[in-house]
């Protein structure tokens, strides 16, 4: 059954684990996440981006998630969320469709503009009983940073600003930047754990780590023990899906035209990748 994202995260925090928020773009990926959730008996968040709304249609992705859950996974506890909404218009479109949780990503804007736009999104969303994730600091993309600490500093969340941001916007969850980055980045230095603890001392909301695809269990457990409740995963499940597609095509001399075999294998591979992440977020190594 569908549940409010903030409630899923508070419940997980109380029980000492974190929830995975997985990006999905098609039916097979949705099924992979739901099956992984069912097999691990763990709540999940399924999320989609503006690019996916452009690709398949916002209503298509949203209602497909809802319907697959209703018809085939009635026992699974899950949330649905817009990931990285970067404009008021895209958030509005989602709220009008009934999406129950949205991220407003104003992290690349000037601080005061991020505050006022996020606050506006919170007012719009709360009037429809939807919750809002804000972002302060900015989680970089792979091409933007390297291993030197100076470059990273510019992206980090300021703990004092975090409490001001939370109080002035009224958000429900906060995405933080503590050395995490989108994509696979082996060269990244250790996260700034002290900064995270300073944020946690000031902010009682559930905290979200974006860019969790390449985090190992020790990092994950360190930040969960310090108060993180949610990890966003996109790259590693996409890689599992894409590698399987490529393997199936390469396996036979003639191109496989039963696309169900190709996509079915990819769905299975992604399910395993998602299960591994869910277990990691619960503190279980494989
Ligand atoms: O951080 C978010 C996603 O990894 C970006 O995904 O290609 O669907 O915009 P997208
Ligand atoms: P990854 O690129 O590490 O999977 O991060 C995904 C993410 O943060 C989606 O919002
Ligand atoms: Zn992200």
Q: Which of 47, 49, 61, 139 to mutate to test the pocket of ligand 1 (most atoms within 8 A of CB)?
A: 49
CA angle 88, 230, 106 (to 5 degrees): 25
* Angstrom distance (rounded) from CA 267 to CA 269: 5
Asked if residues 203 and 175 have their Cβ atoms less than 8 Å apart, the reply is no
The pair of structure tokens assigned to 110 is 């000037």
User: What pLDDT shows up at residue 246?
Assistant: 96
- Give the closest residue (by CA) to ligand 2 atom 3: 211
- Ligand 2 atom at minimal distance to the Cα of residue 213: 3
Residue nearest to atom 3 of ligand 1 (CA): 234
CA dist., res. 71 & res. 34, Å (int) = 12
**Model pLDDT, residue 201:** 98
Q: Rounded to whole angstroms, how far apart are CA atoms 242 and 129?
A: 36
For the chain, which domains are there? 5-234 (3.20.20.70)
Task: Return the biggest CA–CA distance within the chain.
Answer: 61
User: What pLDDT is attached to residue 264?
Assistant: 98
Name the residue with the closest Cα to ligand 2, atom 9: 232
The rounded distance, in Å, linking the Cα atoms of 190 and 216 is 11
Residues with CB under 6 A from ligand 1: 23, 49, 51-52, 83-84, 182, 234
- The pLDDT tens digits for 21-47 are 999 999 999 999 999 999 999 999 999
Res 143: pLDDT:
79
> Is 192 an active-site residue?
no
Pick from 137, 34, 133, 23: nearest CA to 76: 34
Tens-level pLDDT at each residue, the chain (286 residues): 999 999 999 999 999 999 999 999 999 999 999 999 999 999 999 999 999 999 999 999 999 999 999 999 999 999 999 999 999 999 999 999 999 999 999 999 999 999 999 999 999 999 999 999 999 999 998 778 876 667 788 899 999 999 999 999 999 999 999 999 999 876 567 899 999 999 999 999 999 999 989 999 999 999 999 999 999 999 999 999 999 999 999 998 888 899 999 999 999 999 999 999 999 999 887 7
* Residue 211 CA, closest ligand 1 atom number: 1
CA–CA separation, 285 and 112 (whole Å): 42
234 C-alpha vs ligand 1 centroid, how far in Å? 7
Q: In this structure, which residue's CA is closest to atom 4 in ligand 1?
A: 234
Q: Which is nearest to 27 in space by CA: 77, 55, 68, 74? A: 68
């Amino acid at each position: 059954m569908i549940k409010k994202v903030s409630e899923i995260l508070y419940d997980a925090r109380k029980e000492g684990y974190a929830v995975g928020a997985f990006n999905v773009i098609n039916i097979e990926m949705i099924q992979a996440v739901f099956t992984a959730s069912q097999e691990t008996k763990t709540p999940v968040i399924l999320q989609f981006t503006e690019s996916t709304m452009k690709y398949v249609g916002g209503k298509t992705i949203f209602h497909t998630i809802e319907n697959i859950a209703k018809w085939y996974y009635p026992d699974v506890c899950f949330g649905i969320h817009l990931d990285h909404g970067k404009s008021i218009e895209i958030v509005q479109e989602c709220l009008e469709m009934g999406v129950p949780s949205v991220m407003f990503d104003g992290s690349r804007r000037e601080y005061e503009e991020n505050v006022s736009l996020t606050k506006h999104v919170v007012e719009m969303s709360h009037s429809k009983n939807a919750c809002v994730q804000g972002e302060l600091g900015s989680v970089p993309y792979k091409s933007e940073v390297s291993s030197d600490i100076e470059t990273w500093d510019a992206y980090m969340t300021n703990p004092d600003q975090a409490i001001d941001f939370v109080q002035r916007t009224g958000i429900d969850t906060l995405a933080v930047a503590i050395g995490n980055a989108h994509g696979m980045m082996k060269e990244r230095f250790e996260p700034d754990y002290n900064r995270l603890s300073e944020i946690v001392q000031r902010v009682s909301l559930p905290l979200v780590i974006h860019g969790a695809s390449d985090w190992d269990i020790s990092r994950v457990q360190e930040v969960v023990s310090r108060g993180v409740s949610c990890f966003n995963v996109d790259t590693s499940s996409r890689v599992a899906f894409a590698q399987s597609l490529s393997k199936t095509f390469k396996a036979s001399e003639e191109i496989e035209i039963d696309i169900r075999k190709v996509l079915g294998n990819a769905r299975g591979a992604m399910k395993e990748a998602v299960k591994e992440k869910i277990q990691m977020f619960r503190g279980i190594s494989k």
